[in-house]
Amino acid sequence: MDLFNLPPDSEKVFNELNNYGYNFKIFNIIKTSLEMRIYDFLEQDITLNDLSDKVGIQCIKLEILLNVLIKLGYIQKNNDNYKNSEIGDIYLRSNSPYSIMDYFFTMCRHLDMWYNLEDTLKGNITLQDKEVFVNVVNGMGFECLFGELKRTTDIINNYSEFKNAKTSLDIGGGHGLYSIAMSKLNPNLQSYVFDLKTVVKETQKFIERYDSTVKTISGDFNTDDFKGSYDIIFSSYNPGGKNPKIAKKAIRSLNNGGLYITKQCFNNESSNVNQENTLEDYLGMLEWNFANLNEGDFKNKNMYSFKGDLNYNDYLAYLEKEGLSILDTYCENSFSNPYSKKCNAKMIIAKKM
């Protein structure tokens, strides 16, 4: 080792490592403050001493922690009293309708697998299929409230076929929010959500929360029929969304003149297939392969891809072969949340002739 000459790129390496460590500390402060329900206590003004008694942390440490939360913009201090900021009250208080707690702790569960990455890579820690689908329901439901749900249903509401529809089915509908929203836009619509038995238990919670008339049908779209005929069949980001067998089954259950609406990630399939993956892409691919779905017989290596999937152009051609007329296609900038990771999502609206 040369004592007098610096090795190359040392500043870059140490700056990056220090930044990673800094962000890790901030993340854990947010995690701990949520676990301790600090934002619930700070719904009203409270002194440092009173908060210390409630959370069981010495005042000197708690005061520093609160100062960090002030710097982050989550709480504020007025004289000797602490209270949530507007952001903290909306997103971090557990009983707020926009609380991020379920979403955040689902994220933490995935990050635990990163923290124990060697065990995860060796298969000692896995997420099983039922765990994955149930956990994803709440996360996707929460996330779609911040733009994608409204933007998607605004597009659908432009079609006369939707306005005149009497029945709809959401295949693999999970949280059911699309069906709930569609039922509010069209009060004459009876909507159904079709999903796994373990998932529709979560769907029912959303239905009750929004006092909706939506009904659930439990089943597996890989093996079961959809139990009826419908004027609208909708599918969003589900494992069968690009599979021709599932599409054929859906079209069979769609009434003549009805709309088949599907919104799926096609990655880079319809653009430049030779596009180089980014660091974010590789991190996503690695996490995608943490989950154990059907003992590896179901998923492909790439994110949001499953065995039997068609690419975008082939999927459009298949729908036309099965008797659908493609009315419109929309790119993800038309309907997705602005902050969402891009996956070349497309929404296809087709009519059964």
Residues 6+ apart with CB under 8 A from 218: 194, 195, 196, 197, 200
- Token match 């220090």: residue? 18
72 close to 33: Cβ distance less than 8 angstroms: no
> For 200-219, how does the pLDDT look when each residue is reduced to its tens digit (9 = 90+)?
999 999 999 999 999 999 99
Which tokens sit at 2? 């040369």
- Token match 């913009």: residue? 73
Domain 10-94, CATH class in plain words:
mainly alpha
Residues 6+ apart with CB under 8 A from 79: none
The DSSP secondary structure of 97-138, one letter per residue, reads TT--HHHHHHHHHHHHHHHTHHHHHTTSS-EEHHHHHHHHHH
Q: Quote the CA–CA distance of 181 and 106 in Å, as a whole number.
A: 24
Q: What is the pLDDT along the chain (353 residues), one digit of tens a residue?
A: 677 888 889 899 999 999 999 999 999 999 999 999 999 999 999 999 999 999 999 999 999 999 999 999 999 999 999 999 999 999 999 999 889 998 898 888 889 889 999 998 988 876 655 555 566 777 788 888 889 999 999 999 999 999 999 999 999 999 999 999 999 999 999 999 999 998 999 999 999 999 999 999 999 988 898 888 999 999 999 888 899 999 999 999 999 999 999 999 887 554 445 567 889 888 988 888 886 655 445 677 777 778 889 999 999 999 999 999 999 999 988 888 777 777 788 999 999 99
Q: Quote the CA–CA distance of 213 and 192 in Å, as a whole number.
A: 9
Q: Quote the CA–CA distance of 129 and 293 in Å, as a whole number.
A: 5
pLDDT score for 275: 67
pLDDT score for 70: 98
Which tokens sit at 316? 């459009």
Q: What is the pTM of this model?
A: 0.84
Q: Quote the CA–CA distance of 67 and 338 in Å, as a whole number.
A: 31
Q: Quote the CA–CA distance of 284 and 288 in Å, as a whole number.
A: 6
State the DSSP code for 333: G
pLDDT score for 155: 97
- Token match 């409270």: residue? 46
Q: Quote the CA–CA distance of 121 and 106 in Å, as a whole number.
A: 20
At the second CATH level, the architecture of 129-352 is 3-Layer(aba) Sandwich (3.40)
Q: Quote the CA–CA distance of 92 and 40 in Å, as a whole number.
A: 8
pLDDT score for 127: 64
pLDDT score for 271: 44
Phi, psi dihedrals of residue 329, rounded to the nearest 5° = -130, 145
Helix (H, G, I), strand (E, B) or coil at 202: helix
pLDDT score for 295: 46
CB atoms within 10 A of CB 18: 10
> For 157-171, how does the pLDDT look when each residue is reduced to its tens digit (9 = 90+)?
999 999 999 999 999
**Nearest residue to 155 (alpha-carbon basis) of 274, 227, 210, 236:** 236
Please, what sign has the CA dihedral across residues 55, 61, 63, 68?
negative
E-strand stretches of 103-210: 127-128, 167-171, 190-195
Phi-psi region for residue 342, left (φ > 0), alpha (ψ -120 to 50) or beta?
A: beta
The residue ranges of every structural domain in the chain are 10-94, 129-352
- Residue type present at position 317: A
175 close to 202: Cβ distance less than 8 angstroms: yes
pLDDT score for 2: 76
